[in-house]
Amino acid sequence: MSTPFYVSPQQAMADRAEYARKGIARGRSLVVLQYADGIVFVGENPSRALHKFSEIYDRIGFAAAGKYNEYENLRIGGVRYADLRGYTYDRDDVTARGLANVYAQTLGTIFSSAGEKPYEVELVVAEVGATPDGDQIYRLPHDGSIVDEHGSVAVGGNAEQISSYLDQRHQDGMTLAEALKLAVQALSRDTNGTQREIPAERLEVAVLDRTRPQSRKFKRIVGPQLSRLLAVGGAESEAESAEEEGSGEE
């Protein structure tokens, strides 16, 4: 006769959380930053077709780190939720807060139900407002908790280190090129503090741009526009580092 092992609820949850965190950590991190005209999503992604960022609704964007099939599933669920809500009521009634709550409930139920394996994903839901004060960014870890973020947020395996790097350097009212430069710098720092180069073709960049005349504010930044922005940010960073070097020698 076999007796099932007793596992305390604390232990069971800790095990599930560790399982999910390990899964998320296998992928690359990504960052979401506020800038003067909106919110920018930056991540390292060698694939051109499998996106980490996407449009959910007019002003709402989605970013995810972790297991692709799981977050893709959640993304489509979110698009369906938003489109159905907008169709039933009005386009203005679709909000990032509502969507974040639904995701939190979904992730939370999956995380704590014994029959399902926890999702190995961490999400960001962001909504661009008419002014920077109206911007909303929510981070949703694997367990269904929900964190209201400001300025900058990083998710994925290396998120804590990147977040603290961003927290120290992010300022309100940055231009897109500045924000992009900061994001790339943050992403290209390895755990041991060394810098590595991320070429433009491995970067996935998208924005929610409040200045877009269309009601749909989400836009991918690709090709020449991305290179141009990186060049602007790069030139500034060279100038800055030259200054720093100069001051160091004195």
Partner 1 sequence: MEANTRSTGRLPAAFLTPGSSSFMDFLSEHQPEMLPGNRQLPRTQGVIEAPHGTTIVGVTFPGGVVLAGDRRATMGNVIAQRDIEKVFPADEYSAVGIAGTAGLAVEMVKLFQLELEHFEKVEGAQLSLEGKANRLSTMIRSNLGMAMQGLAVVPLFAGFDVDRGKGRIFSYDVTGGRSEEHNFAATGSGSVFARGAMKKLFHDALTEEQATTLVVQALYDAADDDSATGGPDVARRIYPIVTVITESGFRRLTEEESSEIARAILARRLEQPDGPRAALL
Residue span 46-85 as binding mask against partner 1, x where in contact by CB under 8 A, dash where not: ---x-x--xxx----------------xx-xxxxxx-xx-
Q: Which residue of 12, 18, 26, 87 would you call a contact of partner 1, by CB under 8 A? A: 87
Q: In angstroms, how far apart are the furthest CA atoms of the chain?
A: 78
Q: In whole angstroms, give the CA distance from residue 225 to residue 228.
A: 5
Instruction: Give the list of residues 6+ apart from residue 25 with CB closer than 8 angstroms, or none.
Output: 156, 157, 158
Q: Which residue of 13, 17, 25, 86 would you call a contact of partner 1, by CB under 8 A? A: 86
Instruction: Give min distance, CB of 77 to partner 1, in A.
Output: 4
Instruction: Give min distance, CB of 100 to partner 1, in A.
Output: 11
DSSP string, 217-233: -EEEE-HHHHHHHHHHH
Q: Which residue of 102, 200, 226, 232 would you call a contact of partner 1, by CB under 8 A? A: 102
Q: CA of 27: how far to CAs of 71, 98, 164, 208, in Å?
A: 12, 27, 19, 24
Site for partner 1 in 176-205 (CB under 8 A): none
Instruction: Give min distance, CB of 141 to partner 1, in A.
Output: 16
Q: In whole angstroms, give the CA distance from residue 48 to residue 11.
A: 40
Instruction: Give min distance, CB of 216 to partner 1, in A.
Output: 8
Give the footprint of partner 1 on this chain (CB under 8 A): 49, 51, 54-56, 73-74, 76-81, 83-84, 86-88, 101-103, 105-106, 108-109, 216
